Amino acid sequence: MNPEKVAGPRVLLRHLRALMAGEGAPQARLDSVTTIIATNMAADVCSLYLRRAGDVLELFSTHGLKPESVHRTRLRVGEGLIGDIVAQVKTLALSDAQAHPQFAYRPETGEENFHSLLGVPLQRGGRVIGALSVQNRNKRDYTTEEAEALQTVAMVLCELVHASHMVADDEIAEIDGNATLPLRFEGLPLAEGVGQGQVFVHRAPLHVENLVSDDPDREIARLDEAVSRFLARIHDLIAESASRIGDAEREILDTYRMFAEDLGWRRRMTEAVLGGLTAEGAVRRVQEENRRRLVSSPYFRDRIADFDDLSNQLLWQLVGAGRPPPTALPENAVLIARSLGPAELLEYDHSRLRAIVLGEGSPTSHMVLIARSLNIPVVGRVAGSLARLRPGDPVVVDGWRGLVHVRPDENVYDDLVDAVEDQAKRRVGYEAMRTLLARSADGALFDLQLNVGLLHELPLLDATGAGGIGLLRTELLFLRHPSFPSTEDQEAAYRQVFDAAAGRPVVFRTFDIGGDKILPNLDRPLEHEENPAMGWRSLRVGLDRPSVLRNQLRALIAAAAGQPLTVMFPMAAEVAEFDQARRVLDIELGRQRQRGQVLPKELEVGVMIEVPSLAWQIEKVAAKADFVSVGTNDLLQYFFASDRTNPRLANRYDPLSPSFLRLLSRIREICSDAGVPVGVCGDMAAKPLEALCLAGLGFRTLSLPAPALGAVKKALRSLDCAAIEAYLQSRIIAADGSLRDEVKHFAQDHGFFH
């Protein structure tokens, strides 16, 4: 079927605005909304599902399905196509929805008559509150423009749902029972230290009521003026905070400023205004778009708080307040927030701030890095517990162990004193080992290197005593630009890395973007990717768009300029892909040579083993690559067919399983026999117990985040490699399940942990 031309989003938004401004019962207005959407999008069905208590999605309104299914049809989050849209926070476009393995038939709806489906999540304030979908009888390929129009409509619809109070906010809030009893929440330790005080709740995001406009010229002018005022405010903030923070933290704020100056961000907001939104609506639209684009990537998820902060600060400019109203902190404040950006943190008087508790948060987020410089403890990822914290509650935050104690008793204070003393001793011990070699008790020498993703992390080379950078994630540059950065921009950044390394080795991994982290100028296919982690990403993008890869390699060669250069290609699935990438590098070397430019003094070209198919070609890899690095994060998820971003599978499969350890052992043995250096740069290298197992398998080069280096180094220095090697060789053949408990007991019995 060739559907009739779909009305533009401006027409659709105009109808919705008129409906929202009118009167009538909420249910009747919702029913009118689904009818308008279906009509304007040439769809046979439009349905709205809202999230209710117990993670249940209830059909609240429909045009096209059986009316009696409204308020009767329910799905669990994660169940069916609608449940999957909410659980994964993704847009789903299917020409044959019933053939999808996630399809869940509900006979009361009559949906067996409809084949195609386009669905989007409803997000408000970073939380998914439901899903909106359209369906057609015949198979239909929905366009990217239609998906974006439905996303915009969903954002506007969220405000109608919220204003109508169709689902009470407290219906889905967790209940802690007696509000006077002590509570303890476990989260993720983000910044070390202990702080105690009283709960102070960070201000809620600014509420935006007017989202639709018929005057794009006026809204674009308002947006431009607000951005100009916002940039001026950031410059003032950097100047005001100069006395409180160091050079590394100033670089973080400079990076934040670069995000604010990003032309791609402004272009997307302008396009949203031209689509029928107000300036405020455009900011919200792009904010939600950024969240959807970044949330499924563990690394890029760290930047979400930065973009949220930018959006919230810009909204304050648009409403005329200029900046959030100053908030008087109590003398001993423990700040509670869903997320927090660097600018928002610096608006507070840090002398009164004792700790921060976040619903989200990441160890490498910009806000957390600044909090560390200000010696403010931070615990994150306690989202389900924030609603149980009340303003004024006494609270103790243990940033060492990731614990939050609400209304604590005396025993908690005694335990914390002991914990603080213990952690302080460990830090002193790690510092004392900084200049010592990572040599095991029986003489095996290890090379401990750093995983680095941001320029401000470079000083950690000296602070940790690391042997070099075993993994430099170059894709950060691609995140900071609306399109790929110029060769000159890249060269300048890479020169900073070489300068900071001061002769120590640096492994430059070519960009790992694509899938859910695609950028506008890649001219990517428009279809939605069901599984972006296994989709068009990483080296596949570089080989399909060789000019992008060539520009990056050209910048690396120019930046090296007489120094040794080490390049690593990620996500190769077969040797032929590595050969192809190597040929692109050879072309750039020849180009530089013809131009008479200084070439690298030495060149090493390696590959990451992340895909099992390449692991089974390891003999050919070892014959062609100068070195090999095992990326255990992706290798583990592909090996077990287990999405590492899915919380239900987070602890289901263990890297210390005998099958996975045997795979690692095979890779190491074949590389060593061929005389090819081989190391590990995944999360396994960052955990003492896993690092001991890697040592027992024969790995001697480990690349890990800076905060983990001290503990791993201490464990390795206590290790008898021969003993654990003999133990593992017998157990990985005989055991049926995870060796974690066995290895832990073996290590403790042999004194490998102190």
Structural tokens at position 302: 């760290």
Judge contact between 132 and 92, C-beta under 8 A: no
Angle at 283 between CA 279 and CA 287, to 5 degrees: 165
Judge contact between 457 and 495, C-beta under 8 A: no
In whole angstroms, what is the distance from residue 304 CA to residue 282 CA?
17
Q: How far is CA 696 from CA 319, 598, 665, 692, 740, in A?
A: 61, 42, 9, 6, 14
Judge contact between 532 and 292, C-beta under 8 A: no
Judge contact between 396 and 412, C-beta under 8 A: yes
In whole angstroms, what is the distance from residue 627 CA to residue 672 CA?
10
Q: Which of 46, 158, 671, 681 is catalytic?
A: 681
Structural tokens at position 236: 């003032």
- Residue 681 is a catalytic residue: yes
What is the DSSP secondary structure assignment for residue 545, as one 8-state letter?
S
- Residue 15 is a catalytic residue: no
In whole angstroms, what is the distance from residue 353 CA to residue 135 CA?
51
Q: Which of 15, 63, 115, 366 is catalytic?
A: 366
Q: How far is CA 699 from CA 442, 447, 536, 624, 723, in A?
A: 15, 10, 31, 20, 15
In whole angstroms, what is the distance from residue 614 CA to residue 395 CA?
51
Judge contact between 46 and 133, C-beta under 8 A: yes
**Following DSSP, what letter does each residue of 623-654 receive, concatenated?**
HH-SEEEE-HHHHHHHHTT--TT-GGGTTTS-
Judge contact between 96 and 139, C-beta under 8 A: yes
Coil, helix or strand for 135? strand
Structural tokens at position 241: 């905070």
In whole angstroms, what is the distance from residue 633 CA to residue 20 CA?
47
Sequence letter at residue 90 = K
Coil, helix or strand for 569? strand
Residue numbers annotated as active site: 366, 681
